[in-house]
Each structure stands twice: as structure tokens, then as C-alpha cells.
Structure 1
């Protein structure tokens, strides 16, 4: 039985049009640049460090793997704690009409989002597989990179002797894929990889803009500001670590950097927009609650699908490297992911 208080308008909630809080204006302006710096650092550092010939050899491979699995946990927790739960609150706001309380709209929107993303990826996969088939290349749906860790012969031996930086970024993977196909190797379509990360980014970016708008006008600015600094850095680390592990040919080499930059600027843009409309924008109004709730629910569906399918199933169940890994390595990877999810879920207590 639904709580009866949801069916009446709570007088303590300001549902009328008008501006949000205008306190700490100087600090709110400064937050644009502070969060820009922390978001950029979280998203760009894994990408630049892993491809830099000077920095990459100085950082153990275990550090990059830790960041990748930690980031996966962050993204999964973001979907449930920072998106789905707020969406439910927003779409059951006392500012909305009783009709909004009669059905779990937030869950329904997230469900539709999951199926939409699934169909989009299915179509992209079938198209990419057909394209590769024309080149005589086999595509493994659960493969990770050229050869899917299954290449044999001289090419495989040579790649082991090549440095990690040259192997991942200096070789044109499309040309290598065509050559490897002659030996029956398996490859992963670069377009499919980009679509997968683009879906993840889309969900995160919608969330980041809404965070910025809220921070610009929220009354509890100081607490929210501190929490969002860590929130954006952790989430940026999750996105950046996924971008850093993309195996792309030279003509797609710019994609991870563009993705990291987009993540870095979205929350500051949201804050700037919120400051610009602070005298008229009230996040508690019915319109604001509906827009925010729908976008949060839609983003939640995207990140739930991406987190459970791309980050958990593909990385642990279908990844040949993880299938052959020791129990110690598997436990470490799962522990890192759970740590990321736990810390991000803990931040949900304040934001």
C-alpha cells in the first residue's frame, strides 16, 4: 500500500515558480572551475597515462587494472543509488499531481531504457559483424581486442615482444586485424567498442548536467559541493578507465580523449547554466521534478545495462583472460569493483 502522504502536497516543500538559493554565490562560481579540474583529472589521467611512453612504463599494470575494476563498481552504484532512487523521489514529489503516484513511472522509464539500449547494441552488433564478415574476419561477441587472446604463430610471438604502448596505440589495429584474419584470429569491431562507450557516456553526461544544475541552486551547497567533488572524480575515474582500455585503430585514436573531455566539462556547464537561471529555476517545481526524474530514470537504465552486461558479464564471465586467471586475481578484481561500488553508494547518503 502506497504511503498516503505522497498523495497530498507537502506545505514544507516550495513548489512555486521562482529561484533557488542564492547564498555563497562566490563559492558557487568557483565550484565551476574546481569541479572542472577534478572531473578532468579523473577522466583524463587514465587515458593519458596509459598511452604516454613516459608515464605508462612508470605505473604498474596492476594500477590500471585496479582503476578499471574500481570504476566499474562506481558506475554500477551510480545507476542504482545516484540515479534510480532520486528518479523515484522526483516522480513521486508532493509537487506533482496524484496521478504520478499511481504507477512506478521511474522504474518503467528505466525498464524501457534498458530494452532500448539492448536493441541499439544488437543492431550495431549485427551490422558490425556483417561488415567484418565481408573482410573475412570473425567477430567474437565476448572478445576483447585483436585475436581475442587467441592469436597463434609469429604474429602472436611478436606482439608479446612489443611494448605495451606501441602494441596498443602505435599499430594500426584495422590493418593488423585484416592480416590476423588470415591466421583465423578473432577481432572486436572498433565501431562496436565506440558505441558501447558512447552509450555509457550518454548516461553519465545526462546525470552530470543535472548534478551541476542542482549544485548551482541547492540550499545545502557546502555539503553537496564537497560530496560532488569526490563523486565526479570517482565517476570520472570509472569512465576514464573504460576509455583507456579501448583498443582502436589510429583513425579512432582521438575518441578516448574526446570522451574524457566531454565528461569533464558537463557538470561545470550545468553549474554555469544553473547560476545563470538561479533567479527563476526552482528544482522543486513540478516541471523541474518531471524533467529531472525522467532523465535520471532514463540514465539509470543506460548505466544498469552497461554496468551489468558490459562491465560485469563481459569482463568476468566472457573474458578469456579472466576465465584463465587465478582465483587470487579474480578475487582481487571483484574486490576492487565492490570497493568502488561501496564508496559510491556511501556518497549517496549525502548526495
Structure 2
């Protein structure tokens, strides 16, 4: 079989990235930074700021719209490019004998599942030692927001006999307070780990598309699409961050997560611009790296989107099951709209 690198219609070697429109490519760093950060920070500020009064319907729209965006991102913007990259004609024929992209995605899904399963077992065992109940489906909560065991106060409160002296009563209250504080801390840790996994998958994707934007010949169309792409995706991440229930000492986490998301694509663009004379996204090495990372990220977002968002926000959410038909239609419609718009953007990016 002939060497694909010898095909004049292909550019399989390193280097060869586009170098035109340098000023606009540099400006894209700051434009996408604003769009990404705004999308991610808006839900966090809307929920946690006293001066920013956003109607509940608007916030619910952002929340469910973002869930749809994350699901569409997994399938259209990660798995499809992974299949394309690992099926590139620049790669050796060995890459075409097995669907490696799908296998890596499957590996990622079960990897995240096993990690979460072990975390839940550990968290449940720890809660039992504290005498607290763990509801796996979150039926006793208004909304399941993120990974991790939820906590609930015991159904029967601990009562101190009236005849007990004041010292015993104070000791009992202190013990209950310590148990409650420990449970909140455990739940906060689980939520932070869950969101960190989601951010990791999105960050890999964001850096890769930033690298591509910096050197892609079709810059103008890709740039416009990515502004919307990153803003919508930021809305999805921000909605997850906004619904984290954390102790006061952890209130900085959602803001840090939003800022981290906002800077990932600009970092990718800056790296791409710095290496534009040597980096070619169509080369064999770049195709393998981006294909593998996209496939792994797709698995992370698939699991998060379908299990943590779709199932827990609807099927295992008591508020959604007992709510009005109007609320259900509004929530599902918002999610489908986010999914549809993000899928549509896959036509260009």
C-alpha cells in the first residue's frame, strides 16, 4: 500500500498550519475568553449573588439548556471528531482494523462509572458510621445537582431526656452538629470531584479546538461558530457549578471552576499561535492525540450528561415527578433546545 503522506492532496507532516489573519486570530483569544467566561459565570452569579435578581424560569432555562448542550457536545463535538481523527488517511492501516475511538469512549464511560461506584460505597459507609441516611436516587431532595452521596437528617430526631442535666444536653447538641458538619464536608468533596471530572473532559476538548482554531485555514467560519459553541458549553458547565451545595468555606469553588473553563480555549489558541509554524492538526501525530483525547472526553461527558444530568434531573427528581405538566414540558423543551442548537453547530465545527 502506498504511503498516505505521499498523496499531494494530503498534508500529513508536521507544520503547515495557516498563518493568515494573524491579528484576528490573536483577537479571538480575548473574544472567546469573554464569551466562555460569561456563559460559565452567569449561572453561578445568578444563583449566589444577592444583587443579581434572575427569575426562576430564566435560571431553570439556563440549567436545562446547559444539560442539553453537554449531551450534544459528547456525541457531535467529541465522539464524531474522534472517529474522524482516528480514521484519518494519514494514519497507518492498523488504525482502521478496529473502532478504537468507540473502544476508548467505552473505556472512559466504565472508568468513570467504577470510580463513582467506589466513591459512593465509601461515602455511604462513612455516612452510616455517622448515623445518617444516604438516598442513592436523591428522592428526598429538591434537585440532584452533582455527583456524590446526598445527605438527609434522620427521620427521628435525637431527643435528650428532659431530666438530663445541662452538660449532657450540650454534649448531645455538639455531637449532632459535628456529625452534620462532617456529612456536609463529605458531600462537598464528592460534588467537587464530580464537577472536576466534568471540567476535565470539557477542558481537553476546549484546548484541542483552541489549537485547531489558531491554525485552521477556514478560520472565519470556525471562529464565529466557536464563539457560540463555547458560550453555550459554558452555560452548561456554569449550571452544574451553580447548583453545587457547599459549605461557606468552599464557596469559591464554583467561581474557580467557571474561570478555569473560561481560560481553556484561549490557552489552546495561544499555544496554537505560538506553534503555528510546526503544528498541523491534520498530521498523523496530531490526529492520534486529538482522536484519543476526544474519545476519552466523549465518554466522560456521555456518562455525566446521561446519568448525572438526564436521569437525576428528571427520572430520580421528586420535584420533577410531582411537578406540573407545564413545568415538565418547559424543562424538557429547554434541554432539547440546547441539544438541538449545539448539534446544529456541529455542521460547521
Structures share a fold, TM > 0.5?
Answer: yes
CA contact (8 A) 1:140 1:148 kept: yes
Could you tell me which residue of structure 1 aligns to residue 97 of structure 2? 102
Instruction: With the length of structure 1 as denominator, give the TM-score of the two structures.
Output: 0.86
Structure 1 CA distance for aligned equivalents of residues 23 and 101 of structure 2: 35
> What SS does the corresponding residue of 2:75 show, helix, strand or coil?
helix
Q: CA deviation at 1:151?
A: 8.9
Instruction: With the length of structure 2 as denominator, give the TM-score of the two structures.
Output: 0.86
1:232-311 equivalent positions in 2, closer than 5 A: 232-311=230-309
Deviations 1:67-111 (A, max 9, x none): 000000000000000000000000000000111111110000000
Deviations 1:257-311 (A, max 9, x none): 1110110000000000000100000111100000000000000000000000000
Could you tell me which residue of structure 2 aligns to residue 166 of structure 1? none
| 2:46 pairs with 1:35 | no
CA contact (8 A) 2:130 2:179 kept: no
Q: Residues 54, 151 of structure 1: CA spacing in aligned structure 2 closer, same or farther, 3 A cutoff?
A: farther
CA contact (8 A) 1:149 1:321 kept: no
Structure 1 CA distance for aligned equivalents of residues 70 and 36 of structure 2: 15
Structure 1 CA distance for aligned equivalents of residues 35 and 179 of structure 2: 37
Structure 2 CA distance for aligned equivalents of residues 10 and 151 of structure 1: 70
Q: Residues 111, 147 of structure 1: CA spacing in aligned structure 2 closer, same or farther, 3 A cutoff?
A: closer
Could you tell me which residue of structure 2 aligns to residue 314 of structure 1? 312
CA contact (8 A) 1:140 1:187 kept: no
Which of 81, 85, 89 is the equivalent residue of 1:86? Answer: 81
Structure 2 CA distance for aligned equivalents of residues 60 and 84 of structure 1: 35
Structure 1 CA distance for aligned equivalents of residues 152 and 334 of structure 2: 23
Q: CA deviation at 1:13?
A: 1.9
1:206-217 equivalent positions in 2, closer than 5 A: 206-217=204-215
Deviations 1:101-156 (A, max 9, x none): 111100000000000000111111111112222222111122238987999899xx
Structure 1 CA distance for aligned equivalents of residues 21 and 78 of structure 2: 26
Deviations 1:213-258 (A, max 9, x none): 0000000000000000000000000000110011111122111111
Query: RMSD over aligned Cα, in angstroms?
Result: 2.7
Q: Residues 280, 147 of structure 1: CA spacing in aligned structure 2 closer, same or farther, 3 A cutoff?
A: closer
Could you tell me which residue of structure 2 aligns to residue 178 of structure 1? 180
* Count of residues paired in the alignment: 322
Structure 2 unaligned segments of length 5 or more: list them. 139-143, 158-175
Structure 1 unaligned segments of length 5 or more: list them. 155-173
Q: Residues 175, 142 of structure 1: CA spacing in aligned structure 2 closer, same or farther, 3 A cutoff?
A: farther
Structure 1 CA distance for aligned equivalents of residues 278 and 238 of structure 2: 35
> What SS does the corresponding residue of 2:16 show, helix, strand or coil?
coil
Q: Specify the structure having the higher radius of gyration (Cα).
A: 2
Q: Residues 65, 148 of structure 1: CA spacing in aligned structure 2 closer, same or farther, 3 A cutoff?
A: farther
| 2:63 pairs with 1:51 | no
Deviations 1:24-82 (A, max 9, x none): 00010111111111111000111012111111xx2111111110000000000000000
1:75-154 equivalent positions in 2, closer than 5 A: 75-143=70-138, 144=144
| 2:24 pairs with 1:22 | no
Structure 2 CA distance for aligned equivalents of residues 265 and 141 of structure 1: 35
Structure 1 CA distance for aligned equivalents of residues 230 and 177 of structure 2: 37
CA contact (8 A) 1:88 1:107 kept: yes
Could you tell me which residue of structure 1 aligns to residue 169 of structure 2? none
Q: CA deviation at 1:178?
A: 1.9
